[in-house]
Amino acid sequence: MTVVEITSESHFNELTTSLPSARPITISFHTPWAAPCTQMNAVFSYLATQYNNVTFLSVDAEAHPEISEIFDVSAVPFFVLIKNGKVVRELSGADPKELSAAIQELSGQQPVVAPAAGVENDEKEETTAEEDLNGRLAKLVSAAPVMLFMKGTPAAPQCGFSRQLVGILRENQVRFGFFDILKDDTVRQGLKQFSDWPTFPQLYVNGELQGGLDIVKEILAEDPNYFKNLQTV
């Protein structure tokens, strides 16, 4: 299939409302003058030929500011992945590998490779996608010595528990990396399986789950120097 270039907001609305809601959609936001967009446009077009079960739409972000605003696009290239009418992932920047993996996840199918050498069975495909996700999650939880997976960002938390945990880390002067799970549903659901932990926020130290807000509070109640001791590691 090929990429459909959006010509107006009504064209966009027409297309998105006429599609069956189960069909995944991905939208690429680009501008003609940004060099990384040219490269990513080519990648996007190629991906469109590989995944027939996904609708690929392309929007010139400056020509259609109303559409850019709907998705809060602040920089290009920018990609939005939609499943069942919900934005499940957003990607910012020019990373062909990341986009390719994200679209494969969205599609849930193996890319069409012409000519097809043979037919892989479905189970094997699913395992590969799952392995990729687990690999990605393993890297994410170790992205910083202290990693916080939260709702929102430290500057703008979107949940009381996340806000409190950020507060505790700051009080203890802990340097931490964070990930906003509201921006990536794949990580949000994947991490629950990966760590066998049902709630957010989740705090990881050296790649190991410590727990959520209530556990961190309990740990500190017993050992107020818990974070200080970590710093020396």
Partner 1 sequence: MSGSGIASSHIEAVIRERLNSTHVQVDDISGGCGQAFEVIVVSPLFTGKNVLMRHRLVNAALKEEISAIHAFTQKDYTPEEWEKKQQQ
Among 214, 225, 228, 231, binds partner 1 (CB under 8 A): 214
By CB under 8 A, the count of residues binding partner 1 is 14
CB of 183 closer than 8 Å to CB of 171: no
Question: Cα dist. 128→102, 132, 191 in Å?
Answer: 13, 6, 17
The residue range among 54-62, 63-71, 167-175, 194-202 that interacts with partner 1, by the rule CB under 8 A, is 194-202
Verify binding: residue 209, partner 1, rule CB under 8 A. yes
In the complex with partner 1, the residue whose CB is nearer, 13 or 189, is 189
Among 33, 175, 196, 233, binds partner 1 (CB under 8 A): 196
Among 20, 115, 118, 198, binds partner 1 (CB under 8 A): 198
166-170 own/partner pairs: CB under 8 Å, 24+ apart: 168/213, 168/216, 168/217, 168/220, 169/227
Between 130 and 169, how does the x/- string for binding to partner 1 read (CB under 8 A)?
A: -------------------------------x--------
Q: Is 202 helix (H, G, I), strand (E, B) or coil?
A: strand
Q: How far is the CB of 215 from partner 1 (least distance, A)?
A: 5
> Which segments within the chain are labelled E, that is strand?
4-5, 25-30, 55-60, 78-83, 86-92, 146-150, 177-180, 202-205, 208-211
Cα–Cα nearest to 157, from 173, 140, 170, 174: 170
Verify binding: residue 211, partner 1, rule CB under 8 A. yes
How close are the terminal C-alpha atoms of the chain, in Å?
52
Among 65, 122, 218, 224, binds partner 1 (CB under 8 A): 218
Question: Where along the sequence are the contacts to partner 1 (CB under 8 A)?
Answer: 161, 196-199, 209-215, 218-219
